[in-house]
Structure 1
């Protein structure tokens, strides 16, 4: 069957969480009146892709992962007015519907319909089997099709590489600090996990005017980059981490702690590194079977705030212009976060590096964009 699925492209397809992904030919669904078809120019390899590929997060298969991307519109639907062929765009993995209760409360990042299209086939494989877009975007491919509302135009003076990282890592990490937790100037901040999101959180703490920023990671090789991006201290992730963080924060603990890993263990660690009355923010995405326990007494006694963070509380149309300004004026250094590059067939190797705690962000350029 090819009716309604006419454009054929190369894509990296996940068929099993036990096997590597392979590049295959798929047919994208035709562009509807409100859709755009986008040629992927650069896409980041994110920890969420690792969680999907390993089965930590549920994903209907077969699927094309990838959600942090910048590309160029090659076709726009008849009802699309704000985008046209040739426009560079950032792709959004949460697309607010505009009419649910969360959207009505001005919380578009919590839209109940924002990720629904991830469960809808967006392509067919060579045998006619439906293929699903990982986290709604499916950017580990030469092209993808998304609603026009999921594409935000990029100004000419913002590089494609920087724009791609704004699709997830940077807006999540910076937004966790500046919007979700609302870090105040003069505060102390500890960030657990110095991957792409964690280093973005470090930069967000600097932007917020935090005077003590502590980076924590199992890989000491990340200390130098963390310092370059705004961390005043680096603490290895080991049995002495909590004690070291308390020593750097007047023995109280940090005003704000950000867990950019998302496991039960690191959530408890972030909680324990937070002072009484402080805020611990969970940014990383963990598995639903990974349970975190708190005693009733400690919740009362420490009077801490524990808050979850989805996509850095991003309102794309309102917030992205501010990120563009941060890049223009040198307040955000995104190029330093890119530690690798490759093509579609290199994604699995990038995921292995990420799982081992090495590297920050690999930017993949599909062959058709090279």
Structure 2
């Protein structure tokens, strides 16, 4: 039996989210119905709203969710009713070539698991379908997701903190620990100090990096960088960021991480490397952008540039581990959430996110 929920729907691009009453379907055999408590506002959502990235309308955005399991399908074995769970958009099949190699974020059957079902997840009251981004659609009172797109987390973690585990934290932490495999003693630069960037800074600290340089243009973020583990900061609006990082680290860093989603900042990250270094792009760069890479730096200096989708995560293991790190005081997750809005004021939250002054904004959607 379907149920009525309130959700924030994007109907035109560029545009604003409109609060509507939708119908959400019952769980299929491997699906989980989750009552949403909080949902994080991600820059990828913002870029769909402003038209930077194309999307199919109408759609309920949001993929970074924490909530309680309300119902489960007949074949669900990975979570139980009542569990506090976090969603992650990198759902995986577990049996394709990439999954069996442990590269879950490259699963070739992801789209099928997210979208293929006999009936739409969401419909308007007139029966017309509404898409759910990444098979989640988190800016709603409830979400219907595949069981391989959720993971249970301990009840001790604050819900508003847990909401950012499924994307911002997983992406930033994973890029450092999985994609780049930063080692003790390495030097690191992180370009872009939002939720993803500050997660990367903390992961570099946990990995034992000897120097961690935070690069941004917002003074408030630079002032907070040391709290998360940065040893140095560079204001890219006041100085040449590449030259400043190279000067601070004696010729460049072992690892540079780009968290802005821009061709120019990815180019900067590559230019910050010392010989043999690796630049890892975490941000979503539009196809229209180009990245400047020196051919001689690739050939003669063995510098590398790579992408990291969702931090090359193993989120079923990673997310509970990060929650445990938070409990042990090893990760400062609560401080990453700098603003909380309600579902009815979610557009104001995206305005705040677009200003560049917030680290992470989350929407309070329901009580869990």
TM-score by length of 1: 0.94
Matched, 1:280 2:279: yes
Asked if the contact 2:168/2:196 (under 8 Å) is kept, the reply is yes
Partner of 1:164: 163
Matched, 1:60 2:59: no
Asked if the contact 2:33/2:70 (under 8 Å) is kept, the reply is yes
Change (3 A) 1:185 1:295: closer
Matched, 1:339 2:338: yes
- Note the residue ranges of structure 2 that are not aligned, 5 or more in a row: none
Partner of 1:8: 4
Asked if the contact 1:94/1:115 (under 8 Å) is kept, the reply is no
Change (3 A) 1:197 1:36: same
What RMSD, in angstroms, separates the aligned Cα atoms of the two structures?
1.6
C-alpha separation in 2, matches of 1:156 and 1:130: 34
1:268-293 CA-to-partner distances (Å, cap 9, x unmatched) read 01011111110100000111222224
C-alpha separation in 2, matches of 1:57 and 1:143: 25
Partner of 2:45: 49
Partner of 1:199: 198
Asked if the contact 1:116/1:136 (under 8 Å) is kept, the reply is no
Question: Matched residue of 1:59: which SS?
Answer: coil
Partner of 1:240: 240
Partner of 1:249: 249
Question: Matched residue of 2:81: which SS?
Answer: coil
Give the C-alpha shift of residue 227 in structure 1. Answer: 1.0
Question: Matched residue of 2:356: which SS?
Answer: coil
C-alpha separation in 1, matches of 2:216 and 2:254: 19
Give the C-alpha shift of residue 119 in structure 1. Answer: 4.9
C-alpha separation in 1, matches of 2:308 and 2:347: 27
Partner of 1:174: 173
Asked if the contact 1:60/1:119 (under 8 Å) is kept, the reply is no
Asked if the contact 2:161/2:337 (under 8 Å) is kept, the reply is no
Matched, 1:124 2:123: yes
Partner of 1:83: 79
C-alpha separation in 1, matches of 2:90 and 2:32: 16
C-alpha separation in 2, matches of 1:7 and 1:363: 25
Asked if the contact 1:259/1:284 (under 8 Å) is kept, the reply is yes
Partner of 1:36: 32
C-alpha separation in 2, matches of 1:364 and 1:280: 32
Question: Matched residue of 1:167: which SS?
Answer: helix
Partner of 1:96: 92
Q: Between Structure 1 and Structure 2, how many residues are aligned?
A: 364
Partner of 2:367: 369
Give the C-alpha shift of residue 150 in structure 1. Answer: 1.4
C-alpha separation in 1, matches of 2:236 and 2:129: 42
Partner of 1:355: 354
Give the C-alpha shift of residue 67 in structure 1. Answer: 0.7
C-alpha separation in 1, matches of 2:328 and 2:76: 32
Asked if the contact 1:31/1:76 (under 8 Å) is kept, the reply is yes
Matched, 1:110 2:106: yes
1:225-273 CA-to-partner distances (Å, cap 9, x unmatched) read 21101011111123511111111011x1111100001211011010111
- Note the residue ranges of structure 1 that are not aligned, 5 or more in a row: none
Change (3 A) 1:186 1:298: closer
Question: Matched residue of 2:110: which SS?
Answer: coil
C-alpha separation in 2, matches of 1:141 and 1:68: 12
More moved, 336-345 vs 293-302: 293-302
Question: Matched residue of 1:85: which SS?
Answer: coil
Asked if the contact 1:56/1:286 (under 8 Å) is kept, the reply is no
Question: Matched residue of 1:307: which SS?
Answer: strand
C-alpha separation in 2, matches of 1:218 and 1:168: 23
Asked if the contact 2:113/2:146 (under 8 Å) is kept, the reply is no
Give the C-alpha shift of residue 157 in structure 1. Answer: 2.1
Asked if the contact 2:10/2:16 (under 8 Å) is kept, the reply is yes
Asked if the contact 1:109/1:311 (under 8 Å) is kept, the reply is yes
